[in-house]
């Protein structure tokens, strides 16, 4: 094959469908590729025919111009597909396998990978620990919002579904395994969510909704979701969450109305660095969520922070925000003996168990995040609507593998 349609970042607010080279088992030069990675041989890799690839809020940060992403970067780190070619060093993955691709790229050999910290692999990104497909400063691995993508270290990275037919039947749910479901789950686990917990989740975007579904799966007694977007709050209520309307102000009083006290057992930040303040006409205030979580989390609680924070934000509200320096009330967190967990979710730590929960109908994650299937060519519309606050998780369908779910709907 000679061509491969893909979604590329052009400039702030603009993505386009481009035809790029069909992938092979080598990392080539291109937008965002670190020179030290150019020519990297991937005999351990496979070529995946993309059956589903999702638009993520992290992608949206780049498309808004809030990172240093270069023009021409092929987007997409949420990938589920079929293996169509494998490298000579791949032993356990085979052509025809249906697989989930963790958004973390991990070698499986370094100290961090051996400690299950696959979000900060030491060998795949010359810039800093950790890598991902189609993302700024992550080494330059091509993204998966495309027809085909190369996946390195396949034996280690890929989650293979034993029953390919069953996987295709559950594909719309299983596509959430590459990122947002494990990420939301990781936020809850990091926050100490367990049976009988009261939980506050800041943000009702797809990751926040995935975190809410995860909290329910973990046995939380009450799951409260806060947001400024009424449509997204309605989506949270659709599967049994309580909600806090942050256009009415800070969350404490509304939380007290729900559970009888203003503090919760566990708190999760599913917003990240583009946070806004509280109130009807709130403006951007990037430390708002972190500071409010310290206010609403009880003494001794843990805070899970799967929301993205960056080291460079060209659109930051001031020079501190532009370098990722936020005005945190760390004294409050210290006084309440809070613990914080940040960083990329180590997807492989959770994805097999979460896949079993999906395959055995313990959770309907696609319904919780309001998955909407669109074609690859419709990706620019998906980005535009998502940027305007649509309460949908856009799932790209490059090869028509998801059409059965559209008919069912």
Alpha helices per DSSP H over 161-275 = 164-169, 171-174, 180-190, 206-217, 230-237, 252-259
What is the CA angle 199-359-172, rounded to 5?
80
pTM, two decimals, is 0.97
Mean pLDDT by 10 residues, the chain (409 residues): 89 97 96 95 98 96 94 98 98 98 98 97 96 96 98 98 97 98 98 98 98 98 98 98 97 97 98 95 94 98 96 92 93 97 97 98 98 98 96 98 79
pLDDT of the residue at 2: 65
In what helix (H) or strand (E) does residue 19 lie, and over which residues does it extend?
Answer: strand 14-21
- pLDDT tens for each residue of 168-225: 999 999 999 999 999 999 999 999 999 999 999 999 999 999 999 999 999 999 999 9
Q: What is the DSSP letter of 25?
A: S
Q: Domain residue spans in the chain?
A: 3-179+346-408, 185-341
| Pairing label, strands 339-341, 297-304 | parallel
Q: What does the pLDDT read at residue 407?
A: 63
CB 393 within 8 A of CB 369: yes
Reported CATH class of domain 3-179+346-408: alpha beta
- What pLDDT is attached to residue 3? 84
Asked if 364 contacts 240 with a C-beta cutoff of 8 angstroms, the reply is no
Nearest to 48 by CA among 151, 178, 135: 151
Indicate the SS3 state at residue 250.
Answer: coil
- CATH superfamily for 185-341 is NAD(P)-binding Rossmann-like Domain (3.40.50.720)
Are the C-beta atoms of 179 and 103 separated by less than 8 Å?
yes
């Amino acid at each position: 094959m000679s061509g491969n349609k893909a979604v590329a970042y052009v400039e702030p607010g603009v993505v386009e469908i481009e035809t790029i080279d069909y992938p092979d088992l080598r990392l080539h030069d291109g937008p965002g590729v670190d020179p030290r990675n150019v020519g990297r041989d991937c005999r351990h890799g496979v070529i995946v025919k993309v059956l589903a690839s999702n638009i993520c809020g992290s992608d949206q940060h780049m498309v808004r111009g809030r990172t240093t992403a270069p023009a021409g970067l092929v987007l997409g780190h949420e990938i589920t597909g079929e293996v169509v070619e494998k490298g000579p060093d791949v032993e356990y993955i085979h052509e025809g396998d249906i697989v989930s691709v963790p958004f973390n790229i991990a070698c499986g050999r370094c100290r961090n990978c051996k400690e299950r910290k696959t979000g900060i692999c030491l060998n795949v990104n010359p810039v800093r620990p950790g890598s991902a497909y189609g993302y700024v400063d992550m080494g330059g691995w091509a993204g998966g919002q495309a027809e085909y993508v190369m996946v390195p270290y396949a034996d280690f990275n890929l989650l293979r579904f034993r029953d390919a037919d069953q996987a295709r039947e559950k594909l719309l749910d299983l596509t959430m395994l590459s990122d947002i479901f494990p990420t939301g789950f990781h936020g809850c686990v990091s926050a100490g969510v367990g049976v009988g917990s009261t939980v506050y989740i800041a943000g009702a975007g797809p990751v926040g909704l995935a975190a809410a579904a995860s909290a329910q799966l973990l046995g939380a007694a009450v799951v409260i979701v806060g947001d400024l977007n009424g449509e997204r709050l309605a989506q949270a209520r659709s599967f049994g969450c309580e909600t806090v309307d942050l256009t009415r102000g800070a969350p404490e009083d509304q939380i007290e109305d729900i559970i009888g006290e203003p503090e919760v057992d566990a708190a999760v930040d599913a917003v990240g660095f583009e946070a806004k303040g509280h109130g009807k006409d709130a403006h951007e205030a990037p430390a708002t969520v972190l500071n409010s979580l310290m206010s609403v989390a009880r003494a001794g609680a843990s805070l899970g922070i799967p929301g993205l924070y960056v080291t460079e934000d060209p659109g930051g509200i001031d020079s501190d925000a532009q370098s990722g320096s936020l005005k945190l009330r760390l004294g409050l967190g210290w006084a309440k003996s809070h613990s914080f967990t940040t960083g990329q979710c180590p997807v492989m730590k959770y994805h097999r168990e979460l896949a079993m929960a999906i395959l055995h109908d313990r959770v309907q994650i696609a319904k919780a995040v309001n998955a909407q299937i669109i074609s690859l060519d419709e990706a620019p519309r998906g980005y535009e609507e998502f940027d305007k606050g649509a309460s949908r998780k856009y799932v790209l369908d490059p090869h028509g593998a998801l059409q059965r779910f559209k008919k069912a709907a």
